[in-house]
Amino acid sequence: MFETLSTILKYVFAIIIYIFIYSIIRLIYLDIRSMSAKAVSSSGKHPYLKLLNIREELPFKVEEIYILDGNKTIGRSNDNEFVIKDPFLSGRHAEFLLKDGMIYVKDRGSKNGTFVNNERIGSTEVCINNGDRIQVGSLSFILIKDE
């Protein structure tokens, strides 16, 4: 009784272990693919913000590229689309708006301000174009937009 059961279950055992290994490797693979997918889609048709700071020198987590495929808010608190733990950013710092293929940016009442080409902007929307510099906190970005 025990012998037959153990003999059958040893195959089940091996199969389960390999299913486990497969699922881990699959998740790791998806992890890698989602990282490279980010880089690929950034070269696609969406406009994006490119970081001008040297990322390795910043003491917090920040991406090289932020894709603007919709309205996006930026700030330190977790309810923003772009969460960056920069101490010079406000909780809700600024917002990027997409209207009819144009991109607008507005400040959301931040302490240290939002700058477009070194000019401080207020809570009114400002249109930005390809190559414009946007500064928030200690970070500066350049807007890349295919015409």
Partner 1 sequence: MKGFTKYFKPIYPVILINIIGYFLLYLYRQPYEQATVFSGLAVIALICITYALIIKLMLGDEYLFLIVSMLVSLGIIMLYRINKELAVKQILWLALGIALFFLCYFIYTRFAKWDKLIFFYLGGALGLFVFTMAFAKNIKGAKNWIFIGDFSIQASEIIKVLYILLLASYYTNPEKLQINGLKLMGREICINHKLVFIVISYCHIGFLILQKELGTAFLLFAVFFLFLFVSGSNVWVMAINACIASIGGVLSYLLMNHIRVRVDIWMNPWADISNRGYQVAQSLFAIGAGGFFGTGLGLGRPDLIPEVHSDFIFSAICEEMGVFGGIAVIFLFFIFVYRGVKISLMAKEPFDKNAALGITLMFGLQTFIILGGVTKLIPLTGITLPFISYGGSSLTTGFISLGFLQAISNKY
Residue 37-56 contact track with partner 1, rule CB under 8 A, x = bound: -------------------x
Q: Which of 9, 37, 52, 127 binds partner 1 (CB under 8 A)?
A: 9
The neighbour count for residue 107, using CB atoms within 10 Å, is: 22
Name the segment binding partner 1 (CB under 8 A); options: 23-31, 39-47, 116-124, 139-147: 23-31
Report the nearest approach of partner 1 to the CB of residue 83 (Å).
13
Kind of pairing between the strands at 94-99 and 126-128: unpaired
How many angstroms separate the CA atoms of 99 and 75, rounded?
21
Residue 49-88 contact track with partner 1, rule CB under 8 A, x = bound: -------x----x---------------------------
Q: Which residues neighbour 105 within 8 Å (Cβ) at sequence distance 6 or greater?
A: 94, 95, 96, 97, 114, 116, 121, 125, 126, 128, 134
Nearer to partner 1, 61 or 111 (CB): 61
Residue bearing tokens 């600024």: 94
Residue 91 tokens read as 């909780």
Residues forming contacts to partner 1 in the complex (CB under 8 A) are 1-3, 5-7, 9-14, 16-21, 23-25, 27-28, 56, 61
